[in-house]
Amino acid sequence: MTGETSGGGPVSGRVCVADVEPERVTWLWPGRLPVGKIVTLDGDPGLGKSLLALTIAAIVSRGGEWPDGTRCDEAGDVLYMTAEDGVADTIRPRLDAARADVNRVHVIEHGIDQNGDPSPINLGDIEQLERHVAVTGARLLVVDVLMAYLPGDANMDQAVRKVLTPLSKLAERTGCAMLLLRHLRKNRGGDPISHGNGSVGIVGAARAGFMVTADPDHADDVRILSSVKSNLAVAPKSLAYRLVGTENGSVALEWLGEDARSTVELLAQRSDNLGRAAHDVEDFVNSRSSTMSADVAEGLDMTLRSANQHLTRLLSKGRIARPSRGVYGPMKPLPDHKLEAAEASEGAEASEGTEGFEADDGDDQQEEISDVGGVGLPCSRAASGPDADEGAPPTPYDDSAVVTGDDAVVGRCPDCGGPLGVATRKCLPCVIERANRAAVSSSLDEVVRP
């Protein structure tokens, strides 16, 4: 490295690459955990992140085979920082279950202040951390969870880099790998590399990153460890595991082998997996020319709220269509023979145009209202109008008042639970309510819009 001057002043140091002897990357876990580097491990609570970290620590402490068949040829000491688990009732039993050499695992419980008294420790205490590494000769430092040990604002990139840059240099200087655990953020989107809590500077400082997810095909018990970042090697294959009970009353990992799916594929599959109930709703909707949430609730024996939630989710994913407000149907038109069968099973002669009372001008709207003026009002909307008390509770729906004739009931209103007419596919009391309210506000342009 040189420190030449230019015009009498110093210039920044630099090094000629020809003067640098090339080195191979060395690994604690080949392809996954590089020596002297920062690695992130992200995942939702409850998926076994901490147990996975302790299993990794156990293998480092005793050496031997990794779950993918590679080897940890040189056993070493491990430093462990935990803000969530008890050492006696959780850490030690899990290490025992994983066959760790517990003489090589050291938990950093606190730091030391200027007076020599115990004090909280964080990752900004580089000098103390370096002393721990030097005294133990640790090959791995596990931080569970990172957010608990970051001083300052973990979401501020500059503040995070101010801590992780010295930590990265400590790792490189000592050869101690740093495994940083994070929970996933609530609002997720885009590249999985950004799903972990905190600033993007965290994963920026890492040379490798992993995510733990529930297997979309076996969400109850199988977990997948997959790569989200791999700067130093080809991204390794995903690995599956499950949590199993142990003789000492603790829990351990049972490795299930490689999984061909990447993190992106796993997340996409999990997003697409709607669950059995939603698929039942989708099949129900696709078997009919049109349906409503009340039909789904009754036909599938679920609550109206659940039916609405499943319909909304299916609609947002483009799995079903909504030709008009409250009316759902298949994304693609049914074949003629299926359409006829569906309509026959519904006991209705509804046409494809189910828009009902949609109108383009005030005259049509007024005519529309007059057409339904003689219809009984069996639902809570009947009490609305210019003289209605808006603060009064709604009148419960009265099943004894059922519209008949041309407006025979073919479904229930998603707003009030009242009956819908075959010809209109609308809840007439709700139509009248909207008309009355619009008349009061002199805003007839918005009357009876679906």
pLDDT band with cut points at 50, 70 and 90 for residue 63: very high
Contacts of 6 (CB under 8 A, 6+ apart): none
Shared-domain flag, residues 122 and 41:
yes
Is 60 part of any domain? yes
pLDDT at 424: 58
Higher pLDDT, 336 or 191: 191
Shared-domain flag, residues 188 and 46:
yes
Write down the H helix ranges in 287-375: 293-300, 304-316, 336-346, 362-371
Contacts of 59 (CB under 8 A, 6+ apart): 29, 65, 66, 72, 98
Domain final residue pick, 313, 346, 379: 346
Shared-domain flag, residues 295 and 409:
no
Is 17 part of any domain? no
Mean pLDDT confidence for 90-101: 98
Query: Which tens digit of pLDDT belongs to each residue from 402-443?
Result: 333 333 445 667 766 666 655 556 666 666 666 555 554 543
Calpha distance 129→111 (Å, rounded): 9
pLDDT at 232: 97
Q: Considering the entire predicted model, what is its pTM?
A: 0.63
Calpha distance 163→170 (Å, rounded): 11
Contacts of 417 (CB under 8 A, 6+ apart): 294, 304, 379, 397
Is 357 part of any domain? no
Assigned token pair, 327: 């009316």
CATH code of the domain in which 331 resides: 1.10.10.10
Shared-domain flag, residues 100 and 194:
yes
DSSP-derived 3-state class of residue 77 = strand
Query: Which tens digit of pLDDT belongs to each residue from 15-27?
Result: 999 999 999 999 9
Is 91 part of any domain? yes
CB contact at 8 A, 352 and 398: no
Is 353 part of any domain? no
Assigned token pair, 72: 């940890």
- Which residues pair with residue 251 across a beta bridge? 245
Query: Which tens digit of pLDDT belongs to each residue from 184-228?
Result: 987 776 788 889 999 989 999 999 999 999 988 887 789 999 999
Shared-domain flag, residues 239 and 315:
no
Calpha distance 198→161 (Å, rounded): 11
DSSP-derived 3-state class of residue 119 = strand
pLDDT at 381: 37
Across the chain, what does the average pLDDT equal? Answer: 80
Shared-domain flag, residues 239 and 386:
no
Is 352 part of any domain? no
Q: How many domains does one find in the chain?
A: 3
pLDDT at 268: 79
pLDDT at 311: 92
pLDDT at 188: 72
Residue 112 amino acid letter: I
Domain final residue pick, 346, 377, 404: 346
DSSP-derived 3-state class of residue 108 = coil
Query: Which tens digit of pLDDT belongs to each residue from 155-170?
Result: 898 999 999 999 999 9
CB contact at 8 A, 145 and 181: yes
Say yes or no to pLDDT of 352 above 50: no
pLDDT at 134: 98
CATH code of the domain in which 146 resides: 3.40.50.300
Assigned token pair, 227: 């790569």
DSSP-derived 3-state class of residue 121 = coil
In terms of Cα–Cα distance, which of 169, 149, 171, 170 is closest to 160? 149
Shared-domain flag, residues 118 and 197:
yes
In terms of Cα–Cα distance, which of 347, 333, 416, 406 is closest to 374? 406
pLDDT at 155: 86
pLDDT band with cut points at 50, 70 and 90 for residue 314: confident
pLDDT at 7: 57
H, E, C per residue of 242-296: EEEECCCCCEEEEEEEEECCCHHHHHHHHHHCCCHHHHHHHHHHHCCCCECHHHH
pLDDT at 283: 84
Say yes or no to pLDDT of 90 above 80: yes
Shared-domain flag, residues 367 and 339:
no
Shared-domain flag, residues 80 and 135:
yes
Domain final residue pick, 346, 371, 401: 346
pLDDT at 429: 64
pLDDT at 439: 52
Q: What are phi and psi of 122, to 5 degrees?
A: -140, 175
Is 8 part of any domain? no
Query: Which tens digit of pLDDT belongs to each residue from 254-312?
Result: 999 999 999 998 887 776 666 667 778 888 898 888 899 999 999 888 899 889 988 98
pLDDT at 332: 65
pLDDT band with cut points at 50, 70 and 90 for residue 32: very high
pLDDT at 366: 35
Shared-domain flag, residues 241 and 283:
no
Domain of 284, in residue numbers: 274-346
In terms of Cα–Cα distance, which of 411, 407, 422 is closest to 373? 407
Calpha distance 211→326 (Å, rounded): 40
pLDDT at 315: 87
In terms of Cα–Cα distance, which of 316, 321, 319, 313 is closest to 291? 321
- Which residues pair with residue 429 across a beta bridge? none
Mean pLDDT confidence for 341-359: 44
Is 66 part of any domain? yes
Shared-domain flag, residues 256 and 403:
no
Say yes or no to pLDDT of 374 above 50: no
Say yes or no to pLDDT of 173 above 80: yes
Shared-domain flag, residues 266 and 297:
no
DSSP-derived 3-state class of residue 116 = coil
